[in-house]
Amino acid sequence: MTKAPFVAMSAATAALGTALGSLALQLRATGHEQYVDSVATFSILMYITAALVMVTWIRDGRPHTN
């Protein structure tokens, strides 16, 4: 497969993780502590997903053997 879908998906997922991390910081600053853990956890999951997409891209680029 071409690398464009993998790179775009990984970049979009990492951007979402960054936006959610920023939201978690804003929630903490405004006193909405009950939501900070959930949003921060989801932010970390987005970074992990972005990393797994890149691993998939690397594994897809390797030669296939039967």
One pLDDT digit (tens) per residue for the chain, 66 residues: 566 788 899 999 999 999 999 999 999 999 999 999 999 999 999 999 999 999 988 887 777 666
Asked if the structure places residue 63 within a domain, the reply is no
Number of domains the chain contains: 1
In a domain, 41, yes or no: yes
What single letter denotes the amino acid at residue 6? F
In a domain, 29, yes or no: yes
Centroid of chain to Cα 35 = 19
Round to whole Å and give the CA distance between 54 and 50.
Answer: 6
pTM: 0.82
Q: Are 46 and 16 in contact (CB under 8 A)?
A: yes
Contact assessment for residue 50 and residue 31, using Cβ atoms and an 8 Å cutoff: no
33 found inside a domain: yes
